């Protein structure tokens, strides 16, 4: 079994993501960690946290990559991020919407292994 190394940067970045109600971009995270680590280290930590199943990656409608905490299902062995992500057009926050499941109907002989669905509009605060 591979040992998972914990560093101060990894611990702090995971804490930042876990305490956020919205998905955060690399720039958002880097601003919060300050001088603790450089931007390259932040990218490496984010990649490692994603590979470990602690966070997931979302590409919003503008092409910006954001990171959010994984739900409880990810820690029970059912690692999935198949839920809707809502991108607010005004404040640009990306919010995981896990309690809404879209109905997806594909043509015959297609099968879904995962999906990334981003809905754009206004969040309740900006409405």
Residues annotated within a binding site? 88, 91, 98, 123, 126
Q: What is the pLDDT, as a whole number, of residue 2?
A: 45
Contact 13, 42 (CB under 8 A): yes
Indicate whether 109 pLDDT > 70: yes
Residue 110 to residue 40: CA distance in whole angstroms:
39
- For 29-78, write each residue's pLDDT tens digit: 999 999 999 999 999 999 999 888 889 888 877 788 999 887 654 554 55
pTM listed for this prediction = 0.74
Q: What is the pLDDT, as a whole number, of residue 1?
A: 39
Residues annotated within a binding site for Zn(2+)? 88, 91, 123, 126
CATH architecture of the domain formed by 8-121: Orthogonal Bundle (1.10)
Domain locations along the chain = 8-121
What proportion of the chain, given as a percentage, has pLDDT over 90? Answer: 39
Residue 21 to residue 82: CA distance in whole angstroms:
18
Residues annotated within a binding site for Fe cation? 98
């Amino acid at each position: 079994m591979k040992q998972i190394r914990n560093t101060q940067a990894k611990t702090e970045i995971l804490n930042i993501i876990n305490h956020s109600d919205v998905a955060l971009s690399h720039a958002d995270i880097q601003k919060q960690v300050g001088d603790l680590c450089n931007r390259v280290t932040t990218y490496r930590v984010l990649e490692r946290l994603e590979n470990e199943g602690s966070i997931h990656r979302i590409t919003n409608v503008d092409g910006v990559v954001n990171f959010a905490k994984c739900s409880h299902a990810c820690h029970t062995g059912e690692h999935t991020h198949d839920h809707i992500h809502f991108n607010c057009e005004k404040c640009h926050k990306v919010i995981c919407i896990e309690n809404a499941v879209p109905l997806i109907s594909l043509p015959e002989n297609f099968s879904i292994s995962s999906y990334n669905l981003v809905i754009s509009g206004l969040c309740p605060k900006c409405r």
